[in-house]
Amino acid sequence: MSSLGMVLDIATSALAAQQHAIDVTAHNIANVDTEGYSRQIPSLQAKQAVLHQGMILGRGVEIEQVARSIDQFIENKLMQEKSNLSSFQEMEKYMQVLEAMFSESSDASMSATLSDFWNLWHDISNNPSGSSERIALYEHSLLMSEQFQSLIPDLNQIQTDITNAITVGIERINQITSEISQINVEIVGMEANNNVANDLRDKRNALVSELNEYLDIKTFEQSSHSLTIVAAKGCTLVHNDRNYELEIYGDRVKWQDSGGNYVDITNHISNGKIGGWLELRDEIIAKYELDLDAMAKEFIWSVNQQHSQGVGLKLFESGSTITGDYQTNTDLGELEYGSEIQFIANGFNLWIEDRTDPANPTIDYVSVDLSSLNSSSSLSDLATAINNQITGVGLTGITVDGSGSALSLIAGNNYAFGFSDDNSNILAALGVNTFFTGTGAGSIGLNAMLNDKDYIAAAQIDSDGSYAAGDNTNALAMTDLQYTSMDISQWTCDRINGNTEGSVTTTIEDYYHSMVGSIGIISSSISRDTKFNEMMVKELNTLRDSISAVSLDEEMANLIKYQHAYQAAAKLITISDEMLETLISTR
């Protein structure tokens, strides 16, 4: 090749290289606002030299490659922080709802409702026979029961909303993994001949970033340039041209392997929206639902246990039937509060008033001995034991029926009955002469017998069988419960290790205040974590943009540089042409 021909070749290569560089610059400028686009950089290199007339001469320039301007470490760190941020943002949103449910700022808060309940018992202690005080307590207790009952469905609704969000999230995850598997095929095909599919890699990277916002993943690029994605418990979501879907079964997230087998990965998903939703639903909200139920259960028991010791303005009248609110079809130990029963000799006093002679009624009692029974005894066994003891002391007119699933006491004509000194807790465990029904926040209600407000037990029967409308003994004992410490279950919920029941000794109100305070602390902690991760994502985005984002100023400078180089190459061709004409003319 003549040296003049070599000059033309060099100039032509320069024109092509600079034109290609200008094309890349134009592509960058066009995608300045494209989400996930990484700036592309044309890499120029000298073409392989040749030996010409004993000298090694260069042959011009060529495009070695067009590379994406990225730092994979920064990309991975940004994805990780985005995953954390997505988790905290979702948790923060639902924690705000949870805080509002348990807000203490209103006069209608549960804390205020509990305080008013004790205050109304105090009002009754000041005027035990007062009709207005009894009505006020009854109506307030109804509202309080409804307030308790509403909290459980509200918590359940949050959990349902979260489950629905998880379902939608899983659908999007499956869409993303399907798209990534398709892009894998395209990238492998395009890069088979040492090409680099920059735009497809950006698209795949954007999808991986979005996927990482839903759950924590790990990625591995194969030698074929296909991307493998692995999620919780080592479950592969994408491998080569195939994606493996996640599915929702009830409230569980399951992964299907290539053999069609399902693996439950619910408890192993961390971070991302799915991880945040699961932590909220199965740990945080589950804990407070259990704690609220435990508090309500102990509240119901303590009030019922005290109420069962007392008597209202009258005994249970002739012809009335009192049926326990708690049922069992097997044995006494199966009652919800069966573990509280003490099978002792001096169980409780059953008072029976004989009104056969209305002018001269008589009252007597039997101290019911429960020592012959145990937790395996049935209601029928209990009824038989009580009936035998009533007969044994010559008391008649009262029948105890244990043939069904709840104990019933029936007053015959001209007879009435009441209770006192229950050392065994059997009455409260059976739901006899109690204030509340139910065993938790979702089931609490008022005993139907209290429709007659006279049965609100503010008094207690004395040792001689007397009771007075002005007696406030039981009402005072009830108000003391406000300041009485008791053992209340407290739960720890963990998706990996399961739920653990602990116990704290405190008052009902202090337990509730502690629970509300705990919600506030967790919410504040999540908000702080959200702000911190927002800052981290912002800083990492700034760092990424400094590496990968398109700068119009820089691209314009490059455009001018490549334009000048192109013009110089064109000038070189012009000069070569003139030299060629001169050479021809000399011949």
- Give tens-digit pLDDT for 199-246: 999 999 999 999 999 999 999 999 999 999 999 888 999 999 999 999
**273: Cβ contacts below 8 Å, ≥ 6 apart:** 86, 87, 90, 165, 169, 213, 214, 215
The verdict on 178 and 290 lying in the same domain is: yes
Residue 162 lies in a domain: yes
Same domain, 11 and 148: no
> What DSSP character marks residue 360?
S
490 within some domain: no
Phi and psi at residue 112, in whole multiples of 5°?
-65, -35
CA nearest 265: which of 339, 166, 194, 352?
Answer: 166
Pair (131, 86) in one structural domain? yes
Residue 93 in domain:
yes
The verdict on residue 327 lying in a domain is no
If one counts the domains in the chain, the total is 2
Question: Taking a C-beta distance cutoff of 8 angstroms, is the pair 551, 33 a contact?
Answer: no
DSSP string, 261-296: -EEE-GGG--SHHHHHHHHIIIIIHHHHHHHHHHHH
Shared-domain flag, residues 158 and 290: yes
On whether residue 169 sits in a domain, the answer given is yes
Residues 541 and 556 in one domain: no
Tell me, yes or no, whether 48 and 124 share the same domain: no
The rounded distance, in Å, linking the Cα atoms of 460 and 437 is 21
Looking at the domain assignment, is residue 341 inside a domain?
no
Low-confidence ranges of the chain (pLDDT < 50): 1
What is the value of pTM for the model shown? 0.87
Two tokens, residue 93: 């949103």
Q: Are residues 57 and 84 in the same domain?
A: no
**Shared-domain flag, residues 45 and 168:** no
Measuring CA to CA, how many Å separate 448 from each of 113, 409, 432, 536? Answer: 21, 15, 11, 59
Nearest residue to 414 via CA among 346, 487, 358, 478: 358
| Residue 272 region by backbone torsions, left for phi larger than 0, else alpha for psi between -120 and 50, else beta | left
Q: Torsion over CA of 472, 477, 481 and 484, rounded to 10 degrees?
A: 150
- Distances in Å between the Cα of 313 and the Cα atoms of 62, 373, 457, 463 are 106, 32, 7, 17
Answer yes or no: is 89 within a domain: yes
**Is 495 a member of any domain?**
no
Tell me, what's the pLDDT at 1? 45
Whether residues 165 and 229 share a domain: the answer is yes
Amino acid at 228: T
Q: Smallest Cα–Cα separation from 482: which of 511, 444, 441, 442?
A: 511
At 515, the amino acid letter reads M
Q: Are residues 240 and 268 in the same domain?
A: yes
Task: Give pLDDT, residue 453.
Answer: 96
Same domain, 42 and 16: yes
Range of the domain at 105: 72-297+511-549
The 3 state secondary structure assigned to 380-409 is HHHHHHHHHHHHHCCCCCEEEECCCCCCEE
The closest alpha carbon to 530, from 6, 87, 95, 69, belongs to 87
- On whether both 231 and 131 belong to a single domain, the answer is yes
How far, in Å, CA of 426 to CA of 176, rounded? 61
